[in-house]
Amino acid sequence: MPQQSPLDVPEGDPFGPHNLPYGVFSTAAEGRRRIGVRIGGHALDAGAAAAALGSPYAGLLGQASLNPLLAAGRTAWRDVRRALTAWVTDPGHRPTVEPHLLPLDEVTLHLPYEVADYVDFYASEHHATNVGKMFRPNGDALTPNWKHLPIGYHGRSGTLVVSGTDVVRPSGQRKAPGDPAPVFGPSVKLDIEAEVGFVVGAPSELGTPVPLGAFEDHVFGLFLLNDWSARDIQAWEYVPLGPFLGKSFATSVSAWVTPLEALDAARVAPPARDFPLLPYLDDAALDRPGGFDLRITVSINGQEVAQPPFATMYWTAAQQLAHMTVNGASLRTGDVFGSGTVSGPEVGQRGSLLELTWNGRDAIELTDGKRTFLEDGDTVTLTAWAPGPDGTRVGLGEVVGRIVGSR
């Protein structure tokens, strides 16, 4: 019986030829980094396959980072994707392509792009409302500006790490409301934030805003993101300028970037808005909706604790990009922006332990004990899928991080 080809991906595999996310990998035998495209349980050495096929895209794909492909722009993204799809589906290409497929357990995955700037938003109404109720119990849950603009902050791009990287428990100042003075030490309220990240490809000119309709001209793809948060450090430092050391110690991202084109079937309208939007944020006239139906699962030590639905996000990625540049701020290839914590209306849809435990009041039960916040040795895993063409599912690359003790 002939051996099955790695290109014969089983029906229902969320990483079939309808997906084809991009990453960067190396092997133990050869340490150099190269662009890979995931197909089933294998990574295709895209540059080597392109060269073997005499493809005009061999230069873009034969790189150690996705940045040259990102910078090439939307037409190139579309054309390269069409070529890759043909390579993995046309039987005539199999003899040339198959030698360049490597099992995923034989490769090491790396951060697939060089990060330029990093911005994180606060776009879930359910998350923002929960946090407001916790910390402003006698006031309005949402701040007056929340439904008029996507709130965000600049993070530390140098601390974005690829999935699988250990996360060292951060130390810093913290002060409980009843304490007479702050103390210094390891965070005791280490948390997660289940998010979706977007990576910019084509840059923009300084002084020129990027309108809503140009989102797909500049954003290459999306991926899962875990915005680790030291809640006790954050609570003491954030007034009046916002998050700083409570966020900047690590942000974990998937090793695989899903191109926007793979998610056409997952487009959905955002929730109905009860506030009029200023023209630069008003997406009512766009030719297709700006939301994405992504089904996220959060697990701690292998046990599912939440299923945050990305379709509930109040602000879309296109609106975030438009707001981020409306003052003339330029985009650079490799810019990353995060959606903010994804939370839904139900308790089991909350994307942070802050919400799941209501700031430590209500412990969650795991098979290895109760948790309010993360303990050393805990491993957090984010996974997700989206509806794909013809009833398929589009898998997003997982994000895994293990907490290790402070140094």
* DSSP H or E segment with residue 127: helix 125-135
Residue-wise DSSP of 329-366: PPP-TT-EEE------SSGGG--SHHHHTTTTTSPEEE
Phi and psi dihedrals of 310, rounded to 5? -70, -25
The owner of tokens 């790189």 is 63
* Closest among 348, 285, 289 to 313, alpha carbons compared: 289
Provide long-range contacts, Cβ within 8 A and 24+ apart, for 206-211: 206/328, 206/329, 206/330, 207/328, 207/330, 208/325, 208/328, 208/330, 209/280, 209/322, 209/325, 209/326, 209/327, 209/328, 210/321, 210/322, 210/325, 210/331, 211/280, 211/322
Q: What is the rounded distance in angstroms from the CA atom of residue 379 to the CA atom of residue 402?
A: 4
Question: What phi, psi does 188 have (nearest 5°)?
Answer: -110, 5
Active site annotation includes 218: no
Distance, CA of 374 to CA of 189 (rounded, Å): 7
Contacts of 191 (CB under 8 A, 6+ apart): 228, 229, 230, 231, 352, 353, 354, 373, 374
Q: How far is CA 301 from the centre of its chain?
A: 20
Centre a 10 Å sphere on the Cβ of residue 137 and count the other Cβ atoms it contains: 8
DSSP string, 59-125: HHHSSSSSHHHHHH-HHHHHHHHHHHHHHHH-GGGHHHHGGGEEEGGGEEEE--S----EEEE---H
Question: Position 15: which residue type?
Answer: F
Question: Could you say which of 110, 127, 218, 323 is catalytic?
Answer: 127
Phi, psi of 286, deg, nearest 5: -65, 155
Helices (H), 168-314: 215-218, 231-237
Q: Would you name the residues annotated as active-site residues?
A: 127
